[in-house]
Amino acid sequence: MNIRFYNGKILCTKENHKFEVIEGELWVKGNKIIYVGDGGDLEEVYKKQKEPCILWDREIDAKGYVIMPGFKNAHTHSAMTFLRSFADDLPLKEWLYNQIFPREEKLMPGDIYHLCKLGIMEYLTSGITANFDMYLNPIEIARASADCGFRTVQTSGLNDFTRSLSLLEEDYHIVNEMSELTGFLLGFHGEYTTGRELMEGVAKLSEKLKSPVWFHNSETKKEVEECRKRYGMTPTQITEALGMYAFGGGGYHCIFFDDRDFEIYRKRGLTAVTNPSSNLKLASGIAPTARFLEEGISVAIGTDGPASNNCLDMFREMFLVTGLAKVREGDAAIVPAEEVLYMATAGGARAMQLSDCDSLAEGKLADLILIDLNQPNMQPENDFVKNIVYSGSKSNVALTMVNGRILYEKGEFFIGAESGEVYAKANEIIERMK
């Protein structure tokens, strides 16, 4: 479709993790942005397009809205929607081994496909236009994403109990070739669930496919202590020693880092994905976000899965990223709003290798959202970025567009499935396991 947004305030990403607000128009032709500007140079735009005018399928008056890049949820487990509010108030290891893993063993073919649709619906209401998923059965996840019109990059949850290196390589090729909306990068669940031989296999496969590697890294103090007992090194250091990072990648959580860990991340150009809500709820700890930024290490934000969070809400995560950093370091000036918004948009896109939809500019993919300013929490309009990070909420998301398609607008979903059917299927799946 060809869609013209006009009269809007457009949030443009600048250098040094800054943003600029311009007033004007944004044009989408097919799945790409073909114009961002004040509308004063339209004659030149038409010449460039080699046509005297564009027939718009829809023209949207964006007065009273901010048009901005969609959020990138840089770590999640979408299909775990069926375990939302099912096994809460437990420490990580007990939660994972006694409650989560046993239910996951009961999943049947097709379940993950339906459960992912529920996750995608929640992402859309939070202005999330792409997610970095890790879960069982990547083929079903990719199918759900492609069918909904949503953008998903996956990494593997490979461990000693599920999948294999041969299946990992197969998933890599199938998902990357399935759709322009689906991608796959190598990974494994975590050092504490994956033996050395299997990790060595991932490193070799990374060399073969020239793929980054991702895994849950240093989420708890116990995890790091046990890794030191096994190898005399932290999870970051053992994966570096095994040659995991020749093509980049990074880790999820990254809470308990030592000086050598920071050095490896800086040297290898890795990304730390912080997940504050999940880490708080599981009492794992608070990530050293300020130190990552001081070291020049890229940071992105993830919600983690709906079984541990339990809310797939990027607004809550953004506030917690900056709030917790300030408390952790005892400095109210660190990790400012612009830096956090950059993490939630361009930082996530960098982690997921989505450089073609990290900002709003001519030639970029049309992954964008409209933020409603006509609500009390967004007034007065002193600073749009600070309003979004410090006082914004899901209620401000009026429209979410992915790849040029409007998938969510003012409470309605356009994903090829009825919301009631998606809800019913999720409840049917968990009831079967009780």
For the chain, residues with pLDDT lower than 50 are none
**For 2-69+356-411, which CATH class?**
mainly beta
Amino acid at 34: I
Q: What pLDDT sits at residue 376?
A: 97
DSSP 275: -
Q: What pLDDT sits at residue 91?
A: 79
- In angstroms, what is the C-alpha Rg of the chain? 21
Q: What pLDDT sits at residue 41?
A: 78
Each residue of 370-405: pLDDT tens digit?
A: 999 999 999 999 999 999 999 999 999 999 999 999
| Three-state secondary structure call for residue 310 | coil
Q: Between the CA of residue 380 and those of 7, 316, 377, 387, 389, what are the distances in Å?
A: 19, 21, 8, 9, 15
Strand 58-61 and strand 2-13: the pairing is parallel
**For 71-355, which CATH class?**
alpha beta
Annotated domain spans of the chain = 2-69+356-411, 71-355
Q: What pLDDT sits at residue 190?
A: 97
Amino acid at 396: N
Q: What pLDDT sits at residue 292?
A: 98
Each residue of 214-240: pLDDT tens digit?
A: 999 999 999 999 999 999 999 999 999
Q: Are 111 and 82 in contact (CB under 8 A)?
A: yes
Q: What pLDDT sits at residue 90?
A: 83
In angstroms, rounded to a whole number, what is the distance separating the alpha carbons of residues 150 and 357?
Answer: 13
Q: What pLDDT sits at residue 52?
A: 67
Each residue of 33-81: pLDDT tens digit?
A: 999 999 877 777 777 776 667 889 999 999 999 999 999 999 999 999 9
In angstroms, rounded to a whole number, what is the distance separating the alpha carbons of residues 419 and 122?
Answer: 11
